[in-house]
Amino acid sequence: MFIWFLGLIIVLIKGKWASLIVPNQFAPDFTAILIAYLFLYYGPAAAGMFAFGQGLVMDIYSGGLYGLFTLLYLCVYAGIYLGRRLFNFLVPKGQALIVSLSVLLEKLLFIIILTIFSEGIIFSCSFLWISVVSAISSGLIAPVIFSLLSRQKVIPV
């Protein structure tokens, strides 16, 4: 419940925060990190539900295509699901890699979908670099957030 509330707060303040501190595109994807955290400590079902719910809230508040962020966060979930088979999700290095790759997958899918569905949007190379920066920063910060949040619940599923 706490993670759901935290996720909701992140979505609600994200726009304001971006206008004050750093553009959202560069910032770590905290929702993706929370999905990974739930996957690790509460299991795939809880993470899947969270990804779906947060994506839906994001869609409601966003001015983009309906369903876009629901799909993107389900892809993050799928990325984590597949990633944990390739890397060790229990060690910080593995967590960083899995979260980075999942966020990168999300960003790439975002670019592909918008290129197909939205005529007005033109992506340049800088968008790709921004996505890479966001993915790496998400991956680097993920183990730190995991350790902070796991003070409440220590045993990974």
Partner 1 sequence: MRGLISFYKIWFGIIAFGFVLFLFSSNSGREITWNSAEQLIIEVTAPLQKLINQSINSTRGFWYNYFDLINVRQDNKHLHSEIDALKMENSRYRDLLATHKRMQELLKFTNSIKPPVIAAQVTGLDPTGWFKSIIIDKGKNAGISLNMPVVNADGVVGKIVSISPNYAKVLLVIDQNSSVDCLVQRTRDRGMVKGLSAVISKMDYVVKRSDVVADDIIITSGLGGIFPKGLPVGKVLNVKDVQGKLFKDIRIIPAVDFSKLEEVLVILKEDTSLNYHLEKE
* Residue ranges in contact with partner 1 by CB under 8 A: 8-9, 11-16, 18-20, 23-25, 27, 44-45, 48, 52, 56-71, 74, 110, 114, 117-118, 120-121
CB atoms inside a 10 Å sphere around CB 1: 5
d(CA 2, CA 130): 30
Q: Whose Cβ is closer to partner 1: residue 117's or residue 129's?
A: 117
Q: Which of 60, 135, 57 shows the shortest CA–CA distance to 102? A: 135
User: Cβ of residue 70: shortest distance to partner 1, in angstroms?
Assistant: 5
User: Cβ of residue 93: shortest distance to partner 1, in angstroms?
Assistant: 28
Contacts of 16 (CB under 8 A, 6+ apart): none
Structure tokens at 89: 């999700």
CA 28 remoteness from chain centre: 8
User: Cβ of residue 143: shortest distance to partner 1, in angstroms?
Assistant: 24
User: Cβ of residue 128: shortest distance to partner 1, in angstroms?
Assistant: 14
Q: Whose Cβ is closer to partner 1: residue 86's or residue 121's?
A: 121
Q: Whose Cβ is closer to partner 1: residue 7's or residue 143's?
A: 7
Q: Whose Cβ is closer to partner 1: residue 66's or residue 129's?
A: 66
Separate counts of helices (H) and strands (E) for the chain: 6, 0
